[in-house]
Structure 1
Amino acid sequence: MENKQAPIGIAIEKNYDSEFCGSIPLHLVNLIQPHGVLLTLSTQDLRVVQASENVPHLLGLALEDVLGQPLANFLPAPQIEDVLVKIQESSHQEKIPFTLTFTRQGEPIQFTALAHLKDTYILLELEENPAAAAQDSFMALYQQIKYITSLLKQATTTQTVSQISVEELKKLTGFDRVLMYQFDPQWNGIVIAQARELDMDDYMGLRFPASDVPKQARDLYLSNPYRLIPARDYTPARLIPVINPLISRFTDLSDCNLRSVAGVHLEYLVNLKVQASMSLPIIIDDKLWGLISCHHKLPKNPSYELRSAMELLSGIISAQIAAREKEKNMELRAQLRDIHAQLLEQLYTSPTFADGLVKEKDPLLKLLNITGAAVLYEGSVWTSGLVPPHPSIKELVYWLKRNKSDKTYATDTLPSQYVRSQEFKDLASGLIVLPINAEEGEYILGFRPEVIQTISWGGNPNQAIQMEADGKRYHPRNSFASYQETVKHTSLPWLPEELEAAENLRSAVLEKIIKERY
């Protein structure tokens, strides 16, 4: 069998995650993007102990006039009260933006502020907030969010939710391309939905290796509502002084929207042929399920109001995807329960449990979604469907006795684990094992055939990271042209619901055996 696009759970032999990239401390960069200002404040008196070097440009204040001074020197008393309230709130609920007004060259300038409370200091992010455009007013955004939410509620599958999401986010934001990535079990991302301008490259269905979003970056998405790069060609602003005097080390910028980006990622945007990007996490059950990635050919800095709307929508989209996945899983579980009931009836109306498992129109094959089954018990072998030759099954059992425990075991890459199974890979590239009495070599075995998959990557994943001769500096791949890889010696992946059904069946069989004996 050959499929154009591999399922999300297909086993990929090589691990494309990068320990090197994943070990880079992205939160200790001491640099921010220059479209905002970052102030580090002491918790006791709101004294400025660190400031980004672009303070003169955005606040109109000299660095030496700001450092060491209380924030109250630059803001009216009511706003200082507001800062104190927001700091107190940030310790026990989500961070809520608020407005602060600084005076620059005699004119009042409004900034959107976010406070991040740490153990010994406070980070205050400031972004200039010009009057919101009409389309970014609260009422206009609220109406659009309500409309998009109503569309999402009508979607019946994860794929439909994803496609509606990218299309509507593109309309809402004006980004040139919006993609929905879903992570596979090895953290490679596959594009499952796309909306784009026709002159933008088509990435639908392509996989991107895990090193494109290494572990360190993935972890930060769990604490940041979005990642925005308004213009890739920026000059980062340093924090002055370099070392935070309150802790005598670099300041932790994990929570900061303004945190600067690794140079390799900016190169990555060059190779993608985009000037601006924004990514929003899809989080399900406190785990990163995927990303919404927005690209623009020119620099683009969405208003804070629009970003907030996107943040809200990413949470709604996450909830809708979670609901569709749950519905799909519940439907599958219900189907498997019905088949399990049929199987139980066969078990208890047959002379032995083996006779009950391998009858014609075998529900065992349906229950585990397998094409062949073998029952080995008390020296006999019963089979159903398409199975390897009996001598091969017995050799497989010897291998299982030597290498596997007495727990239920499943693999979708048997030939890579048991080399001799390559001789019958077309019948058994996937295997599920339900031990009855492992010491005696008594098992229920289920077989899945090889499914040859053609995976289309966004560029050659083997060239995802290109190290320089010094072994320290590195670059991303410079081409995202479709690169096809054929995956062999694998079956369709085992679903959690199928493994659960297998364990329930094993319990029923062991109970039946005990009743037969005693």
Structure 2
Amino acid sequence: MSKYQVDLTNCDREPIHIPGKIQAHGFLVAINSKTFVISYISQNIKEFIEKDARHFLGKPINELESYLKISGAKDQLTNLLNLANNSKNFDSVNPYQITIDQNSYNIILTSSNTELILEFEPGTSDLNFDVQKTIGRSVSEILSGKNLNTLLKNAAFEIKKIISYDRVMLYKFHEDGHGEVVAEVKNDDLEPFLGLHYPASDIPKQARELYKTNLTRIIADVNSTSSAILTFQDENTPLDLGNSALRAVSPVHIQYLKNMGVQSSFSISLLAHGELWGLIACHNYTPRFISYKARDASKLIGQILSSALEYRQEEENTENLSALDNAATELSKYIKLDNEISGALTSHSATIKDITNAAGAVLVFNNTISRIGITPNEEQIEDILLWLKSNMQNNIYYTNNFPELFLPAQNYSNVASGILACSLSRELNELIIWFKPEQLEAITWAGNPEKPVEQAENGSMQLLPRKSFEAWTQLVKNTSVRWSNKEILLVVKMREEILDAINRKANEIRLLNDRLQLAYEELDTFSYTISHDLRTPLSTIKTYSELLLARNKSLDDSAKTILTRIVAGTDKMNLLIKEILRYTQLGKADIEAAKINMQLLLTEIKDEVVAGIKPENLEFTIGKTPDIAGDKTMIGQVFTNLINNAVKYSSRSVPAKVKVEGIANHDETIYSVTDNGLGIDVTYYSRVFELFKRMDNVKDYEGTGVGLAIVKRIVEKHNARIWFESGLGIGTTFYIAFKN
């Protein structure tokens, strides 16, 4: 066995996709896809055809075929390779069945860089029935489960019935990478593993990545000797076996299985939303091989189960999410109708507590602390407020192990092990805090998770998987149920509505009055400068130019032309000054709204924004365009900013998709601008409309971080509302609601 330093990070760095060996139950040949010359071959081919492997290196595939004694037509391997070169994938080819010296074999085609890989493995196994014919009935039994747990139990039962391994487990990965056995069917003589947890190092990160692309994995016999792969090329360029069925197993994992008493294993990947949800892990306590068809049938069941997992998980979440949404909708009504913010948030049937799954919530507003549900006492809340003031960097902060970060909270961890805080005003230290209680959890590990490796008995620095799998129970304290993305999203949305209500209903903006007054005074000074210091000399220039034209008859045509241009230029300058003065007055004056033809406005903006973009690179759709009332220039600026952003941030999607449409309701007309671009990280939700704030993932896009701040000010000036929904890698939708 290879030696490794005792360092857990070795497991994550081990190049398991290029082991340089294959398992012994089959043999491998890699052929250059253009020349059909053999470039790699497994050393154990001699055990199948009694000819040394090196004899075939550098030889055409026909040379190997002449030794294989393949029944039937000649040049079958050459024809198979030609078929592979002309296929988009190998699904229609695999497995290719042949008979070699009266023995049935399956050829499995994969690729690796410039090579086509032919893997020869036995075409039969110990399953004495047609596995594929049983799939329909098995899938029906699996999907009959009414909830997620029953679905998983049914899957374990049906898989065991199909492939007859001694133990079949449903193994789920948690967020930190560690695994848990959530369903199990086993032979009666075996001890149960159900409910046991396994450290993340048992299945390291690069192995989990391979499970996402290679959906099944068989280890036929842990005691067999792997066969080396030979090549006449550079020995430092190993063959990539990431997609291989015969790929040899890490010696660390082999030892791990031996320590468990497992002689062979088979696994099927379970994916949910493109990520590795878990595995169907099958163990056998004697050597075991099942054919490609049996594995492929199992893979199909895994794919069907993966789809069902997504659906059932979302179905079980729907009821809870619906309750949160309903509470948020009710709370929004109270915020709009009530004159007093604190009462709107705390005194009705739906309160701020109800938009999350928290046990309690606290509103700190207008120098008053309002408590709802189960919360720390006021003295403890004051301490938490001081801690948050020093440690809360953004407008939203959340953790599910608060007592580990703020040690005094360990005295009331049963109330506040999880907190979610939302800042309303940093200057006034006004905010909302939600609390989740401690969830004491006894996690039973298969062995001590802090000792996933052991030192060799001879004392050498050799990485060995742990030998003891005796149940080891760990009590997790000071931790609550995690805050979900839905809870955070609703808090962010509610914060925007609360701030909008504060700005709309307050006679003066608190703490900003002095700054606002100073801004108006500076604006007045600017207006005076334009009107006095600029317009007066311009008038003088114009007057003298007109006098020269009227009284001086001796001027030649060239001089008259110059003076005429001076007069025209001063008129143009005066008009420009008037327009600037009119714009500066918008900060003080109410908007005189006029009906805007939105179809015409949006079409003009679209034509301007998409100019120079090839039509095939952008799908731009304008839906219904109900007219609204507002300042056309300002509204045009709002939609120009939003549409520009949508086009810009979706430019790397293929194709980019942007849609603008409006829906006229009884009280409001709501416009949306949707793209399929980068999306916004949930941690930036509260900062989107702040001046000069930009996300990390848009640093290579042009922009200043000013546009959305301007959009929000114009929207507020029109007594309208703006909000958004977004997901990373999915896209963003901005909504603007104008009052009818």
1:332 correspondence with 2:320: yes
Shift of the alpha carbon at 1:470?
A: 7.7
2:429 counterpart (441, 445, 449): 441
Amino acid at match of 2:41: A
Name 2:274's counterpart in structure 1. 286
1:514 correspondence with 2:503: yes
Q: Percent identity?
A: 26
Name 1:488's counterpart in structure 2. 477
Name 2:634's counterpart in structure 1. none
Q: Residues 252, 22 of structure 1: CA spacing in aligned structure 2 closer, same or farther, 3 A cutoff?
A: same
- In the alignment, is the contact (CA less than 8 A) between 1:95 and 1:116 conserved in 2? no
Shift of the alpha carbon at 1:199?
A: 1.1
Name 1:6's counterpart in structure 2. none
2:110 counterpart (113, 116, 125): 116
Name 1:13's counterpart in structure 2. none
* Distance in 1 (alpha carbons) for counterparts of 2:227 and 2:90: 29
Name 1:423's counterpart in structure 2. 411
Amino acid at match of 2:115: Y
Greater relative CO (CA pairs within 8 A, separation 6+)? 1
- In the alignment, is the contact (CA less than 8 A) between 1:59 and 1:102 conserved in 2? no
Name 2:343's counterpart in structure 1. 355
Amino acid at match of 2:331: L
Q: Secondary structure at the match of 2:17?
A: helix
Amino acid at match of 1:323: Y
2:179 counterpart (173, 179, 189): 189
Q: Residues 324, 86 of structure 1: CA spacing in aligned structure 2 closer, same or farther, 3 A cutoff?
A: same
1:497 counterpart (486, 490, 506): 486
Amino acid at match of 2:264: A
Amino acid at match of 1:489: N
1:403 correspondence with 2:397: no
Q: Residues 49, 436 of structure 1: CA spacing in aligned structure 2 closer, same or farther, 3 A cutoff?
A: same
Shift of the alpha carbon at 1:420?
A: 2.5
- In the alignment, is the contact (CA less than 8 A) between 1:421 and 1:429 conserved in 2? yes
Amino acid at match of 2:111: L
Name 2:120's counterpart in structure 1. 126
- In the alignment, is the contact (CA less than 8 A) between 1:101 and 1:108 conserved in 2? no
1:13-412 → structure 2 map (5 Å cutoff) = 18-75=8-65, 76-89=74-87, 91-92=88-89, 94=91, 96-99=93-96, 101=98, 103=100, 107-130=101-124, 134-136=128-130, 141-241=131-231, 245=233, 248-359=236-347, 363-412=351-400
Shift of the alpha carbon at 1:65?
A: 3.1
Q: Residues 359, 439 of structure 1: CA spacing in aligned structure 2 closer, same or farther, 3 A cutoff?
A: same
* Distance in 1 (alpha carbons) for counterparts of 2:11 and 2:126: 38
Amino acid at match of 1:497: K
Shift of the alpha carbon at 1:19?
A: 2.4
* Distance in 2 (alpha carbons) for counterparts of 1:221 and 1:464: 21
- In the alignment, is the contact (CA less than 8 A) between 2:451 and 2:466 conserved in 1? yes
* Distance in 1 (alpha carbons) for counterparts of 2:371 and 2:502: 19
Name 2:466's counterpart in structure 1. 477
Name 1:457's counterpart in structure 2. 445
405-414 or 276-285, larger mean C-alpha shift: 405-414
Q: Secondary structure at the match of 1:434?
A: strand
Shift of the alpha carbon at 1:506?
A: 1.9
TM-score (norm 1): 0.89
Shift of the alpha carbon at 1:427?
A: 1.4
Shift of the alpha carbon at 1:334?
A: 1.9
Shift of the alpha carbon at 1:260?
A: 1.0
- In the alignment, is the contact (CA less than 8 A) between 1:329 and 1:497 conserved in 2? no
Measured on the aligned residues, the alpha-carbon RMSD in Å equals: 2.3
Shift of the alpha carbon at 1:108?
A: 4.5
* Distance in 2 (alpha carbons) for counterparts of 1:445 and 1:93: 55
- In the alignment, is the contact (CA less than 8 A) between 2:22 and 2:248 conserved in 1? yes
Q: Residues 108, 227 of structure 1: CA spacing in aligned structure 2 closer, same or farther, 3 A cutoff?
A: same
* Distance in 2 (alpha carbons) for counterparts of 1:284 and 1:408: 28
* Distance in 2 (alpha carbons) for counterparts of 1:358 and 1:274: 59
Count of residues in Structure 1 that have an aligned counterpart in Structure 2: 492
Q: Residues 379, 94 of structure 1: CA spacing in aligned structure 2 closer, same or farther, 3 A cutoff?
A: farther
* Distance in 2 (alpha carbons) for counterparts of 1:275 and 1:133: 18
- In the alignment, is the contact (CA less than 8 A) between 1:457 and 1:484 conserved in 2? yes
74-83 or 117-126, larger mean C-alpha shift: 74-83
Q: Residues 50, 313 of structure 1: CA spacing in aligned structure 2 closer, same or farther, 3 A cutoff?
A: same
Amino acid at match of 2:120: L
Amino acid at match of 1:492: V
Shift of the alpha carbon at 1:94?
A: 5.0
Shift of the alpha carbon at 1:51?
A: 0.8
Shift of the alpha carbon at 1:499?
A: 2.1
Task: Output one character per residue of 1:255-295: Cα deviation in whole Å (capped at 9) or x when no partner.
Answer: 11211111221121122222111111111122111111001
Q: Residues 248, 492 of structure 1: CA spacing in aligned structure 2 closer, same or farther, 3 A cutoff?
A: closer
**Structure 2 residues not aligned, in runs of 5+:** 1-6, 66-73, 508-740
* Distance in 1 (alpha carbons) for counterparts of 2:168 and 2:469: 16
- In the alignment, is the contact (CA less than 8 A) between 1:121 and 1:246 conserved in 2? no
* Distance in 1 (alpha carbons) for counterparts of 2:184 and 2:125: 32
Shift of the alpha carbon at 1:333?
A: 2.4
- In the alignment, is the contact (CA less than 8 A) between 1:48 and 1:66 conserved in 2? yes
Q: Residues 99, 110 of structure 1: CA spacing in aligned structure 2 closer, same or farther, 3 A cutoff?
A: farther
Q: Residues 386, 334 of structure 1: CA spacing in aligned structure 2 closer, same or farther, 3 A cutoff?
A: closer
* Distance in 2 (alpha carbons) for counterparts of 1:132 and 1:207: 32
Q: Residues 270, 327 of structure 1: CA spacing in aligned structure 2 closer, same or farther, 3 A cutoff?
A: same
Amino acid at match of 1:322: E
Q: Residues 348, 18 of structure 1: CA spacing in aligned structure 2 closer, same or farther, 3 A cutoff?
A: farther
Q: Secondary structure at the match of 1:61?
A: coil
Q: Secondary structure at the match of 1:222?
A: helix
- In the alignment, is the contact (CA less than 8 A) between 1:388 and 1:424 conserved in 2? yes
Name 1:7's counterpart in structure 2. none
Q: Secondary structure at the match of 1:283?
A: strand
Shift of the alpha carbon at 1:79?
A: 4.0
* Distance in 2 (alpha carbons) for counterparts of 1:111 and 1:50: 20
- In the alignment, is the contact (CA less than 8 A) between 2:127 and 2:290 conserved in 1? no
Rg larger in structure = 2
Q: Secondary structure at the match of 1:299?
A: coil
* Distance in 1 (alpha carbons) for counterparts of 2:339 and 2:207: 58
Shift of the alpha carbon at 1:330?
A: 3.2
Q: Secondary structure at the match of 1:440?
A: coil
- In the alignment, is the contact (CA less than 8 A) between 2:330 and 2:350 conserved in 1? no
- In the alignment, is the contact (CA less than 8 A) between 1:39 and 1:50 conserved in 2? yes
400-409 or 306-315, larger mean C-alpha shift: 400-409
Q: Residues 264, 79 of structure 1: CA spacing in aligned structure 2 closer, same or farther, 3 A cutoff?
A: closer
Q: Secondary structure at the match of 1:27?
A: coil
Q: Residues 410, 366 of structure 1: CA spacing in aligned structure 2 closer, same or farther, 3 A cutoff?
A: same
Q: Residues 270, 354 of structure 1: CA spacing in aligned structure 2 closer, same or farther, 3 A cutoff?
A: same
* Distance in 2 (alpha carbons) for counterparts of 1:443 and 1:70: 75
